[in-house]
C-alpha cells in the first residue's frame, strides 16, 4: 500500500499495525527532515519504506497499489487522476479532509465547488463511499476529520 504525506509517521505506524505480514507500506514525505525522522521512528518495521520527496514524483515507480492513503493535501484534479492510475484493478483510495455536506455552512463555497468530492464522485473508474466519524461536531470544523473511502477500481 502507499501513503502520500508521511508527516511524522503516526498514520503509517497505525496502518502498519493492521496490515498483513506480507504487505509493504511505501510512504512519501516531501519535507526531507520530517521524512528522515519518520524513517527512524518506523525503522523497527521492515515492511515500511519512507521515501523523501514529492509523492507525485516518487510514487509512480512503486505502483500499482492495492490501497492508497492520500494525505498530502493534494487538491488538483490532474493529481487525483494520477492516483487512480496508480491503483491495481480492485484497489482502493482513502482520501480524508472532505467535510460532510450536512455540516457545511449554508454559504460555504464548498457546496458549489469541492474539488475533491467532485472528482471522486464522478470518476467513472471508481465507486465510492463516505465514512463520517461519529464524533463529528458541526460547530467545530477544526475537529472534523471525515474519511472518504473510494473503493473498487473497476475499469
Residues that bind ligand SAM (CB under 6 A): 3-7, 10-11, 28-31, 34, 54-56, 71-73
d(CA 44, CA 106): 48
Q: Based on CB atoms, which residue is closest to ligand SAM, 72 or 99?
A: 72
Q: Quote the least distance from Cβ 98 to ligand SAM, whole Å.
A: 14
User: What is the layout of strands, in order, in the sheet containing 25-29?
Assistant: 48-52, 25-29, 2-4, 65-70, 87-96, 147-151, 127-131
Element (H, E) at 36: helix 32-42
Task: Give the residue nearest to ligand SAM (CB).
Answer: 11
Q: Quote the least distance from Cβ 63 to ligand SAM, whole Å.
A: 15
Q: Based on CB atoms, which residue is closest to ligand SAM, 3 or 123?
A: 3
CA 17 from centroid of its chain's CA atoms:
17
Q: Based on CB atoms, which residue is closest to ligand SAM, 47 or 89?
A: 47
Length of the chain, in residues = 155
Q: Quote the least distance from Cβ 28 to ligand SAM, whole Å.
A: 5
Q: Quote the least distance from Cβ 96 to ligand SAM, whole Å.
A: 8
Q: Based on CB atoms, which residue is closest to ligand SAM, 4 or 95?
A: 4
Q: Quote the least distance from Cβ 114 to ligand SAM, whole Å.
A: 18
Q: Based on CB atoms, which residue is closest to ligand SAM, 79 or 125?
A: 79
Strands (E), the chain: 2-4, 25-29, 48-52, 65-70, 87-96, 127-131, 147-151
Q: Are 124 and 155 a contacting pair, CB within 8 Å?
A: yes
Strands 147-151 and 87-96: antiparallel
Amino acid at each position: 500500500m502507499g501513503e502520500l504525506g508521511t508527516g511524522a509517521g503516526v498514520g503509517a505506524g497505525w496502518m502498519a499495525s493492521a496490515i498483513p505480514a506480507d504487505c509493504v507500506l511505501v510512504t512519501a514525505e516531501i519535507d526531507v527532515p520530517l521524512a528522515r525522522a519518520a524513517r527512524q521512528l518506523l525503522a523497527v518495521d521492515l515492511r515500511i519504506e519512507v521515501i523523501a520527496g514529492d509523492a507525485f514524483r516518487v510514487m509512480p515507480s512503486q505502483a500499482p497499489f492495492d490501497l492508497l492513503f492520500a494525505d498530502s493535501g493534494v487538491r488538483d484534479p490532474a493529481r487525483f487522476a494520477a492516483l487512480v492510475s496508480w491503483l491495481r484493478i480492485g484497489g482502493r483510495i482513502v482520501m480524508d479532509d472532505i467535510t460532510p455536506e450536512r455540516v457545511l455552512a449554508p454559504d460555504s463555497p464548498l457546496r458549489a465547488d469541492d474539488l475533491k468530492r467532485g472528482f471522486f464522485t464522478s470518476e467513472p473508474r471508481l465507486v465510492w463511499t463516505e465514512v463520517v466519524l461519529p464524533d463529528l461536531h458541526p460547530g467545530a470544523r477544526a475537529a472534523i476529520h471525515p474519511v472518504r473511502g473510494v473503493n473498487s477500481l473497476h475499469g
